[in-house]
Structure formats: structure tokens, C-alpha cells
Amino acid sequence: SIDVSTLTRQTGFTTLDYGFVNTAATKSDITYIDGDKGILRYRGYPIDHLATHSSYLEVAWLLIYGELPTADQLAEFDDKIRHHTLLHEDLKDRFFTALPHTAHPMAVLSSGVSALSTYYENESDPNNPEHVELNMIRLLAKLPVIAAYAHKKSVGQAFLYPDNSLSFVDNFLKLNFGVRSEDYQVDPVMSRALERLLILHEDHEQNASTSTVRLVGSTGADQFASISAGIHALSGPLHGGANEAVLTMLAQIQESGGGVKRFVEKVKNKEDGVKLMGFGHRVYKNYDPRATIVKQSADEVLEQLGVHDPLLDLAKELETIALEDDYFKERRLYPNVDFYTGVIYKAMGFPTRMFTVLFAIGRLPGWLAHWRELHQDPKTKIGRPQQLYTGSPERSYPGA
């Protein structure tokens, strides 16, 4: 690898790299991916081991601090997060009522994080380690609450207060699906399945939303501003928004009655720019290891929850046809993490528009870890890509 910043200064040499296909913007110790072999590791630990044996908060600690926590460290981390779950009452009561019930929960989530920052303006100095630690805890504690209230608002139900006797994931499920505080029993199958999905999403090195968090962070903006921007970046259908787009696509194929083969032909002919959502990845040119785990989970979880969803059968049929087709083979397009997650979220009872919000909660620890790493790296500079100007040469303003 070449550090081109000195070279650029000395020679005026500039690389043009649409989509940053071959440009590293940083070094990082957090996540390793080998896209050809389908390998993903957080801080050296294989993703399948973490998804099987770990918890969301343990992995969050690992990503942020670099090592697995001791039992005491994890208990203290968990405890701090439980004690920061409440939103300011003004935010809880007035922010959400000001928005239409039709608001997309991703827009509510990113606005909610921006709004949250206004309560902590005197405690969000990016150069103050105590502020940084405290705001990591606040964001981990409060993002799921904002997310659940966005859901409740969309279905017209009352907001519950967080129940801090419950684990992180169980509390989140209760905030989403509890109607009265005392009557909700968490289903352990659903809880473990959601925890596993969240772990799979916790980091993915320099993807578009993480790069956004780092770019905004590089300007000296605080964690709230950086994470809010990351949520916006995640919302796009080519990134986190793909999990919602997959379910919409499957439902449309089902409704049209046109069949899977006809849809695949449409994709191959690039009719109306249609893509097979949940397929393809910038880095993985082999099966996305997260998708392998999610596909397995989809069968198990639907069976355990007693749900039969024809959309899962449709997704499998679509995958089989695509993987045997030369168009997909030549381009090395495989299912990515988003292909099967939606079917599981749907079986749990989440509306389609909440799917990318679940991704955001999953990804938050990774964003926080990258923001922290950026600030600890003495080589960090403000992110500022170059351009090659292709516009008009100098010309005179008429009459000037």
C-alpha cells in the first residue's frame, strides 16, 4: 500500500476512483474481511463463533475496546447502559408527536439522535474522553428506545418506559411489542434470534455508513452528529435499506403472479433498472458468511415461532435460480446479509419499514468503535476527497 498524501503534495498526482473501489482511507484494527474466501472477523474472532456464543453487548465491548470483556467489565457496561435508557420527557412526549405517524422510522431515528444531542451540548466534546465514554453509553442505551417509539408511533400505541430488569434485547422487544407494561412476556426464541442478527450486523469495516460516520467525525463533529449522519447513509436501498427492499421485492413478485423466472429475466435485462435486492456486495465475491448464518436461522426461527411464510420459499427459489444463472455467476453475485433477514424480522412481527432500523441498532457499536479509533489515531486528518474538474474553462459574465 502507498500513502499517497505525500506523493500528491509533491507531484500533484491524483487518483480517480469512483466509489472508492481501490482506495483505503484509513488503517483499522477492528474488522477483517476476506471477500474472496467469505471470511469476516471482529478483532480476530470469527463471526460464526461470536454469533453462536456471544451477546450483543459483549461484542459491542469487543469492537470498541479491542478485547473480550471480563465478567465484571461486562456487568458494569450492561449496568451503565440500563441506567441510561430513559429519554428526556420533552423528547419522549413532544418530539414524536410533532412527526406524522406515516414518518419513515429511519428518518425518525436519525432526527431523534440529532434531537438527543441538544440535551448534552455541554457534555459532547470529542476531545474529552469522559464525554466520549458517556455518550457511547447514552447512544447504546437510547437508540433502541427511540427506535421502539418510532415503531409505536407508526402503529398508534402508547410508549412504554424501558424495563431495566430486562436484558438489552428483551427490553427492546418489550418496548416494541408490549402494550401494557405488566403483560408482556419475552419469547426466548425471538430474543436469541434477534440478538444473533444484531451481532451479525455490529461491524463491517469501511462500508458506506461507517465511512460516513468517520468522515463526519473527522471534521471534529461529536458522536451524535456522526451517528445521525451514519443512519442517513444506512437508509439507502443499496446499503442497509436493502433489507426492506428485499421484502418489498418478494411481496411484489408474489402479488404479480409473474413468477420467479420472469423476475430474474427482468433483472438480467436491466428492465427499469430492476436489481435482485439482497444480492451482490462490493467486497464479497463469494457467499457472504453472515448470509449463511441468517439463512440457517430463518428456517430454525420460523419453525420455532410456528410461522410458515411463503415468502421464505420464494426467496429460496430466487436464490437457487440466480446461483445457477450465468449472469450472476459471471458477476460473482451471491446473497448478502440482507437477503434473508427480512423474513425473520417479519416473523417476529416487525413491520417492513422497521427492518433498516434494526440494522442501525446492530451497527451502532461498530460506528462508535470506528469514531473512537479515528480520534485515537494521530494520523487522522479531516476527510476531503479530491476531484478532477471537467467543467467549463474560465468565461466572462455577460456585460462584466
Closer to ligand ACO by CB, 49 or 331: give it: 331
- Site residues for ligand ACO, 232-251, by CB under 6 A, read 238-240, 242
- Catalytic site residue 101? no
Work out the number of other CB atoms within 10 angstroms of the CB of residue 395: 6
Catalytic residue among 204, 281, 288, 370: 281
Based on the residue annotation, tell me whether 239 is a catalytic residue of this protein: no
CB atoms within 10 A of CB 41: 17
**For ligand ACO, how many residues bind (rule: CB under 6 A)?**
20
Q: Which of 196, 193, 200, 202 is nearest to 363 (CA)?
A: 202
Please identify which residue in 193, 200, 250, 277 interacts with ligand ACO, judged by CB under 6 A. Answer: 277
Q: Which stretch binds ligand ACO (CB under 6 A): 24-32, 74-82, 336-344, 345-353?
A: 336-344
First vs last Cα of the chain: how many Å apart? 49
Contact call for residues 187 and 97 (beta carbons, < 8 A): no
Nearest to residue 146, comparing CAs of 185, 114, 100? 114
Helix, strand, coil abundance in the chain, percent, nearest 5: 60, 5, 40
Question: Pick from 112, 126, 278, 366: which binds ligand ACO (CB under 6 A)?
Answer: 278
Instruction: Choose between 170 and 338: whose C-beta lies nearer to ligand ACO.
Output: 338
Interacting positions 4-63 with ligand ACO (CB under 6 A): 19
Task: Copy the grid coordinates of residue 331.
Answer: 458477476
Q: Which segment (110-118, 180-188, 223-231, 334-342) binds ligand ACO by CB under 6 A? A: 334-342
Residue 272 Cβ vs ligand ACO, minimum distance, rounded to whole Å: 12
Q: Which of 63, 333, 344, 374 binds ligand ACO (CB under 6 A)?
A: 333
CA distance 197 to 371: 23
Q: Which of 338, 370, 375, 377 is catalytic?
A: 338
Residue with cell 417492513: 352
Interior angle at CA 129, CA 211 and CA 172, nearest 5? 65
The contact set with ligand ACO (CB under 6 A) reads: 19, 207, 238-240, 242, 267, 275-282, 331, 333, 336-338
**Catalytic residue set:** 281, 338
